[in-house]
């Protein structure tokens, strides 16, 4: 199984378990997250780029993978993603570099998956 499928399947399985517990606070947090990334005064592509940069600075690899998937889904180019990477590394400092490596690997997997679908 490849990196993208493995991440997506695990995320979906665990989200189902979490939401299946019917905890009102957790459900509201998940809902807030979903609504925050909907189209609004800021377009979805920009919101995903913001989410990606923040996730990199916070050094959350799962969050980086999620936002990279969404960036790919909404049509961002490799050049756009690498500009986000550069901003995140500038803001976060060199401690973000290990997360950058993982992010580049994941982006390459997303691109490879897209080529297979064509």
Quote the CA–CA distance of 93 and 22 in Å, as a whole number: 39
Q: For each of the domains in the chain, give its residue range(s) and CATH number, in order of start.
A: 3-117 (1.20.1290.10)
Alpha helices in the chain (DSSP H): 3-20, 24-36, 44-57, 61-73, 78-92, 97-117
Quote the CA–CA distance of 13 and 24 in Å, as a whole number: 19
Instruction: Report CA dihedral (85, 88, 93, 96) to the nearest 10 degrees.
Output: -60
pLDDT tens per residue, the chain (118 residues)? 699 999 999 999 999 999 999 999 999 999 999 999 999 999 999 999 999 999 999 999 999 999 999 999 999 999 999 999 999 999 999 999 999 999 999 999 999 998 887 7
What's the confidence (pLDDT) of residue 116?
85
> What DSSP assignment string belongs to 82-103?
HHHHHHHHHHH-GGGHHHHHHH
What's the confidence (pLDDT) of residue 1?
60
- Phi then psi for 43, rounded to 5 degrees? -70, 160
- Phi then psi for 60, rounded to 5 degrees? -105, 100
What's the confidence (pLDDT) of residue 74?
98
């Amino acid at each position: 199984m490849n990196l993208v499928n493995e991440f997506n399947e695990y995320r979906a399985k665990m989200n189902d378990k979490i939401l299946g517990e019917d905890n009102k606070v957790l459900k509201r947090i998940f809902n807030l997250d979903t609504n925050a990334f909907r189209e609004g005064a800021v377009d979805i592509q920009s919101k995903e780029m913001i989410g990606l940069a923040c996730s990199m600075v916070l050094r959350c690899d799962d969050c980086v993978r999620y936002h990279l998937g969404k960036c790919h889904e909404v049509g961002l180019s490799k050049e756009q993603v690498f500009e986000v990477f550069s901003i995140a590394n500038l803001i976060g400092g060199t401690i973000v570099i290990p997360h950058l490596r993982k992010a580049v690997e994941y982006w390459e997997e997303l691109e490879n998956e897209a080529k297979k679908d064509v």
